[in-house]
């Protein structure tokens, strides 16, 4: 894990996880989806008819990929890691573990599974289902006991050490990714697709789920629906995402640990104001005052 340059980053869910039209080339250039000066039509035909160039159509199609496209997903993981761990290197976070004093016990792994919110328990259960003789299996009774609290009872002193040991196991790393996708990423992307939002909107849903839990994200969306409608309901995509991010900021400010809203204000909101609804690179943004570039 990259050590934060200042105070520990606020990073946890406020809601406990419950166990039980085509893009036209001109717009593409204006929003930076195609390089300025890129050819948009081939030379005219003998009849003087000008047809769209295939490279432009291919670029436009690529720009419209959803967040579950592998390249887009990689970008999403990097942005979340910048906010959660002050580093774009999300793969370095499998072994991360600490108690950041936010009332959720230990926070660990690639998206901050917490001993107090149920998702860490489900992660270790899934790991144990796949590999019963693992170093974390012995902590399952304690994880069940401390769920819903900030207690370390039955975990200290060796749980952090054993977590870091488990993180060297490819099976545990794969399980972290699978649980991230099952609980947070896949449902958020599916919700975004059903709402008719593109990669940026899908990311906004995912990042909200990471911090506030799936139920918290759903609550934010429900409140945003009082102010705007998503494209699938006839609304304007940009207007809808501003409404969603407005409600996200309100939710973040309800808790001191989340009161720094820069992961919205100087990251997602910047992309939105730039018209980058497809979350295309390059991306330049800031979180907690730290500057990041994704090429």
Please identify every residue annotated as catalytic: 84, 102
For residue 202, give both structure tokens. 């899908």
Q: How far apart (Å, rounded) are the C-alpha atoms in residues 284 and 223? A: 29
Residues 93/58, Cβ–Cβ less than 8 Å: no
What's the rounded Cα separation, in Å, for the pair 54 and 256?
51
In angstroms, the CA 240 to CA 39 distance is: 33
Helix-helix angle 119-130:170-179, to 10 degrees: 130
Q: Which residues of 82-102 are buried (b: 16+ CB within 10 A; e: fewer)?
A: bbbbbbbebeebbbbbebbeb
250: which 2 tokens? Answer: 């309100």
CB atoms within 10 A of CB 38: 14
Number of Cβ within 10 Å of residue 6's Cβ equals: 9
Strands 290-294 and 97-98: unpaired
Instruction: Spell out the residues 6+ positions from residue 140 whose beta carbon is closer than 8 angstroms to its own.
Output: 121, 124, 125, 128
Residue 138 per-residue DSSP state: G
């Amino acid at each position: 894990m990259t050590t934060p340059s200042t105070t520990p980053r606020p990073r946890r869910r406020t809601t406990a996880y419950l166990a039980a039209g085509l893009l036209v080339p001109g717009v593409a250039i204006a929003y930076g989806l195609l390089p300025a000066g890129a050819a948009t039509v081939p030379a005219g035909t003998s009849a003087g008819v000008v047809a769209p160039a295939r490279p432009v159509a291919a670029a436009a199609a690529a720009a419209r990929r959803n967040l579950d496209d592998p390249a887009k997903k990689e970008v999403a993981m990097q942005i979340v890691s910048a906010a959660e761990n002050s580093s774009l290197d999300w793969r370095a976070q499998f072994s991360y573990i600490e108690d950041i004093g936010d009332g959720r016990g230990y926070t660990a792994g690639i998206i901050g599974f917490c001993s107090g919110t149920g998702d860490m328990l489900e992660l270790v259960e899934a790991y144990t289902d796949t590999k019963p003789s693992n170093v974390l299996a012995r902590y399952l009774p304690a994880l069940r006991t401390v769920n819903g609290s900030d207690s370390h009872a039955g975990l200290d002193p060796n749980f952090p050490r054993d977590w870091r040991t488990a993180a060297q196991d490819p099976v545990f790393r794969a399980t972290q990714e699978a649980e991230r996708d099952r609980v947070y990423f896949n449902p958020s992307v599916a919700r975004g697709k059903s709402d008719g939002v593109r990669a940026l909107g899908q990311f906004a849903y995912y990042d909200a789920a990471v911090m506030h839990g799936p139920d918290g994200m759903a609550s934010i969306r429900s409140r945003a629906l009082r102010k705007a409608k998503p494209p699938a309901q006839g609304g304007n995509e940009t207007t809808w995402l501003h409404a969603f991010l407005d409600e996200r900021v309100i939710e973040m400010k309800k808790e001191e640990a989340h009161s720094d809203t820069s992961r919205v204000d100087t990251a997602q909101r910047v992309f939105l104001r730039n018209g980058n609804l497809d979350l295309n690179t390059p991306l330049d943004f800031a979180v907690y005052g730290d500057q990041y570039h994704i090429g």
